[in-house]
Amino acid sequence: MASYWSKIEALASGGGGASSASGSSGAGVMVPGAGTKREHLYKILVIGELGTGKTSIIKRYVHQFFSQHYRATIGVDFALKVINWDADTIIRLQLWDIAGQERFGNMTRVYYKEAVGAFIVFDVTRSATFESVVKWKVDLDSKVQLPDGSPIPCVLLANKCDQQKEGIVNNPTKMEEYCKEKGFAGWYETSAKENINIEEAARFLVTKILKNDRLTGVDPSKDSERFALDGSGSGMNGNGVRGGNGRQEGKSCAC
């Protein structure tokens, strides 16, 4: 298993662990024939209890791949998703897949640094994983904030919705109230297995992040400087948020 630092080095040099290719980073990169493109690099955390499906969600989102086989993540893993957001904008999402077994440990402070958005994942078949959501949220908010001191936008993912659901997740009104009360930007039922709502949830989170970028007046050309790792390179072909799968089984709140 590669160490945290070797993964960091791999990503910084364009390896990216889960995805890699050559490319350029930073804002205002000239793309031949396409004029000047604005590029944003955003660090996104994916956290939550053991076995809730964090790695599976990322693998589905980045590689369109799912496996029933469970191999616990050790420490942290990374993936890079490139989104052709619109004609003028490319968004690189640096996804930090943090092991459930890290559970609010000291390393999470290091992992959370400079993140601008997060997903907290629970497993709809195990209500105990929902009960821990609030601990993850409190831990997150205590360790990372936006430059203006406000919490980073966080979306709650009720994963494995292809299976029998247990508890509050069966009551969307209560889920919406919960999200409002706990400061979630919204929630989605997702299934990494059936590819339900993952693209939608990512699009929603990115929209919130872009809004914050505008509000805080952060110069997008500084994006690449906000990270120790640059977002150079991606194996993705921009099949991301704009190409939704058209499935709307999951629910989301606008809280």
Of the pair 52, 212, the CB lying nearest ligand GTP is at 52
**Sole binder of ligand GTP in the list 6, 36, 150, 163 (CB under 6 A):** 163
Q: Shortest approach of Mg ion to residue 213 CB, angstroms?
A: 28
| Rounded Cα distance, 17 and 20, in Å | 7
Q: Which residues contact 178 (CB under 8 A, 6 or more apart)?
A: 168, 184
| Rounded Cα distance, 79 and 63, in Å | 10
* Residue 52 touching Mg ion (CB under 5 A): no
Applying the rule CB under 6 A, the residues between 80 and 99 that interact with ligand GTP are: 99
Q: Shortest approach of Mg ion to residue 176 CB, angstroms?
A: 28
Residue with tokens 């070797």: 6
* Residue 53 touching ligand GTP (CB under 6 A): yes
Of the pair 81, 160, the CB lying nearest ligand GTP is at 160
Do 241 and 89 contact (CB within 8 A), yes or no? no
Do 130 and 165 contact (CB within 8 A), yes or no? no
Applying the rule CB under 5 A, the residues between 69 and 88 that interact with Mg ion are: 73
* Residue 54 touching ligand GTP (CB under 6 A): yes
Of the pair 67, 142, the CB lying nearest ligand GTP is at 67
Query: Which runs of E-coded beta strand occur in the chain?
Result: 29-30, 36-48, 76-86, 89-98, 117-123, 154-159, 186-190
**Sole binder of Mg ion in the list 25, 55, 132, 224 (CB under 5 A):** 55
| Rounded Cα distance, 99 and 82, in Å | 23
Residues in contact with ligand GTP by CB under 6 A are 50-56, 67-68, 70, 72-73, 99-100, 159-160, 162-163, 191-193
